[in-house]
Structure 1
Amino acid sequence: MITWHELYMVMSAVVPLYVPMLLAYGSVRWWAVITPEQCGGINRFVAVFAVPLLIFKVISASDLYAMDIRFAAADTLQKLLVLAALAVWCRLAPSSLAGLDCSITLFSFSTLPNTLVVGIPLIAPMYGPHAADLVVQLVVLQCIVWYTMLIFLFEFRAARLLVAGRFPGGVATVCVDPDVVSLDVDGSQADGTVVQEGSTTTVEAKDGGGTTPPFGVRLRLILPMVWRRLIRNPNTYACVLGLTWSLIKFRFHITMPAIVANSISILSDAGLGMAMFSLGLFMAMQPKIIAGSNTVTAATMAVRFLLGPAVMAIASAAVGLRGTLLRIAIVQAAIPLGIVPFVFAKEYNLHAAILCTG
């Protein structure tokens, strides 16, 4: 049974996280001291500088040689179980595209918590510094593996829409402009580049009536897009550089020069608060806090706070986690949805309002 002292420790870790979020929300909605144009600049600063440097600092300070393999395996198994269930859902859904759309959103809700911003500050006072180090290991996997998987799913959906929508009944070719970093649904990007017809990738349809291109065709369209998204994402560099420095630091027992460490800290220390501030700005820019119907909101909350932790409990038990490790695994799976899945959903125009509510 949780004691009042433990409850206070949890609240003292969680409540301060939401203070900057509420300030940001009020600054836009109630007091009008920040304009929508200024919100874009603040969000850009958070995405390009604050959060990547925070990721680098957290990962580089963690001893990855002491990684708990079973703990990481439980997290991986949870996501694989959800992916397998969603793959079956896609096959059985009346519309394969509708099934894919829902599957991407459900994967985000059930398996991608806000580990960096909420998870570490919450779990550290509950279970100690070692628990926080374990959660950092999941941050590494989440940023490098699972966010890449999420981008792949979004691009897979975009490729299907692009090819099936433009060439519904015959053989054709698709050429992707080298500057395009995503196969957006309508073929256009924010920077003005366009997905064009050309002679790069040949598309299916021997019977003249097929609408779904072969998987190999979609894969040839998707992989370049995923690569371009990753190499232009500051979080990718933050993860790789943080991982590299962590391996060097704890292998050879060397420290970062003070002038470099202090330069990173001055921005990364602001990363946590700025990330929550940015989330509050996102919420304030939406027409309403609760997007969609109450039924949809209740269903997504059940997926986030019940289904995700339940699958994690099954995965943890399967790999042999017991005691405190089991509790840490379940708690980190039950924290709110991460910010990055919402950012991706907004960029790809897929259920962004629902994820903002989450």
Structure 2
Amino acid sequence: MIGWDDIYKVLAAMFPLYVALILGYGSVKWWHMFNSDHCDAINRLSCYFIMPLFTFDFTTRINPYKMNHLFIAADIISKSIILLAIWLWANFTNKGNYSWSITCFSLSSLNNTLVVGVPLMAAMYGPLGENVVIQSSILQFMLWIMILLLMLEIQRAKRPLDDSAVSSLELATRCESANVEGVSRRSSLVILIKIVGLKLAKNPNSYACVLGLLWALVSNRWNLEMPIIMAGSVQIMSRAGAGIAMFCMGLFMAMQEKMIDCTAKLAVFAMVLRFMMAPLSMAIGSFSVGLRGDVLHVAIIQAALPQAIGSFVLAKEYGLHANLLSTAVIFGTLISIPLLIAYYVVLNLLL
């Protein structure tokens, strides 16, 4: 049973994040140290250097040979349900569109497994809870963030292709650069695929987790340890991951006219996706594969963890609803503790 000491440990882990947030906010709003160009540069540093090393560092520490295959199957089913629901909404409703589909997927799929998840699940369910939430983070890094990156790159690549002001000369140049001949407008799917593929190949986030998993497979198979010089080189940047992400969020908030540049309706919408749709879909996936007992409880609760900090970094980098993602991270983290404890109590009573 979780106690006050356990809640304090979680709060103690979360409090430094808000120190970084306040420092980022104050550096722009109060001390006028950075302008918008500086903020963009800091966010790119986080997106392309710190986050990939953070992902690689964390992935190398797991043992892929001891993962819970039923939980993995449940998680895949859960996210498949979310993707299907978003696809139906985007294609068969008047308000559905591709850009909001990306944001909805991020809100309902990417959670804070490390900063909040590990200490909270360990407090609730001991080593079992910690182990399951770490497995969830690996799936998130390897699969779901990759899908999000693919969607974001497609969105970015589609913008100029959908612009009616693009001249025929520019279109022809793009066709030539992509080694595509005789492609009409903008049957442009082939060009789009080439552009997206090239962008993903250049993005270190797209293969950081794969490299980390390969090392984890090799090191656990033959009991190898990463050389100290290599581990130190990775960790010196990766340890700044969560802090720099929150600092960037503070910068972003300070650059807006209002500290929270998001309507109450959108904020509620984000909280519903994060704390209701995500655990509901995980419950369906868990029941479908036969998860029971504490593993079932952990699977559902970890799906209701607050929004992943990295999702804001990507939203800011790709210019897609960063205001909503910042709100989801900040308020989601604030209200997550009582909500997660409520889930814990209810699940222990009902299941």
Q: Please tell me the TM-score bracket, short chain as reference.
A: 0.7 to 0.9
239-248 vs 220-229, which deviates more? Answer: 220-229
Count of aligned pairs between the two proteins: 326
Query: Aligned-pair distance for 1:270?
Result: 3.0
Name which of structure 1's ranges 74-83 and 116-125 shifts more when overlaid on structure 2: 116-125
Structure-2 residue corresponding to 1:185? none
- Counterpart of 1:19 in structure 2: which amino acid? V
2:349 is matched with none
What's 2:79 paired with? 79
Counterpart amino acid of residue 148 in structure 1: M
Q: Per-residue deviation at 1:110?
A: 0.9
The match for 1:203 is 184
| Corresponding residue to 2:295 among 325, 336, 340 | 325
| Residues 158, 192 of structure 2: 8 Å contact kept | no
Mapping of residues 220-239 of structure 1, within 5 Å: 220-239=190-209
Tell me which residue corresponds to 2:338.
none
Indicate the residue corresponding to 1:276 in structure 2: 246
Say if 2:290 is the partner of 1:290.
Answer: no
Which residue identity does 1:49 align to in structure 2? F
Aligned counterpart, 1:210: none
- The percent identity for this pair of structures is 41
Q: What is the 5 A alignment of 1:140-159?
A: 140-157=138-155
Q: Is 1:113 matched up with 2:111?
A: yes
SS in 1 for 2:97: helix
User: For structure 2, which runs of at least 5 residues remain unmatched after alignment?
Assistant: 329-351
Partners of 1:78 and 1:312 within 8 A in 2: yes
Q: Distance in 2 between matches of 1:174 and 1:127?
A: 59
Q: Which stretch has the larger CA shift, 342-351 or 234-243?
A: 342-351
Structure 1 residues 226 and 138, CA gap change in structure 2 (3 angstroms)? farther
| Separation in structure 1 between the aligned mates of residue 132 and residue 143 of structure 2, nearest angstrom | 17
Could you list the per-position Cα deviations for residues 318-342 of structure 1 after superposition, in whole angstroms to 9, with x for gaps in the alignment? 2222232223222322223224433
Tell me how far apart the structure 2 counterparts of residues 202 and 179 of structure 1 sit (CA, whole Å).
12
Distance of 2:70 and 2:165 partners within structure 1: 47
Aligned residue in 1 for 2:10: 10
Q: Please point out which of 249, 253, 263 is paired with 2:219.
A: 249
Compute the displacement of 1:109 (Å): 0.9
Do 2:121 and 2:130's aligned partners in 1 also have CA atoms closer than 8 Å?
Answer: yes
Matched, 1:49 2:55: no
**How far off is 1:149 after superposition?**
1.9
Q: What is the CA–CA distance in structure 1 between the aligned matches of 2:14 and 2:270, rounded to whole Å?
A: 22
User: Where does residue 271 of structure 2 map in the other structure?
Assistant: 301
- RMSD across aligned C-alpha pairs, in angstroms? 3.2
How far apart, in 1, do the equivalents of 2:286 and 2:269 lie? 24
- Cross-structure match for 2:311: 341
Residue 331 (structure 2) aligns with = none
Q: Please state how far the C-alpha of 1:142 moved relative to its aligned partner.
A: 2.1
Q: Give the counterpart letter for 2:105 in structure 1.
A: F
Against the structure 1 CA distance between its residues 124 and 224, is the aligned structure 2 distance closer, same or farther, given a 3 Å change threshold?
farther
TM-score by length of 2: 0.79
Show CA shifts across 1:140-173 (max 9, x none). Answer: 32233222322333344456665554399xxx96
Measure how far apart 1:107 and its partner are: 1.3
Per-residue CA deviations over 1:177-211 (Å, capped at 9, x if unaligned) read: 7989xxxxxxxxxxxxxxxxx9646237xxxxxxx
Measure how far apart 1:295 and its partner are. 1.5
Q: What residue number does 1:260 align with?
A: 230
* Structure 1: distance between partners of 2:43 and 2:157: 28
Judged with a 3 Å threshold, the aligned counterparts in structure 2 of structure 1 residues 327 and 284 are, in CA distance, closer, same or farther, namely farther
- With the length of structure 1 as denominator, give the TM-score of the two structures: 0.78
Name the stretch that deviates more: 126-135 or 68-77.
126-135
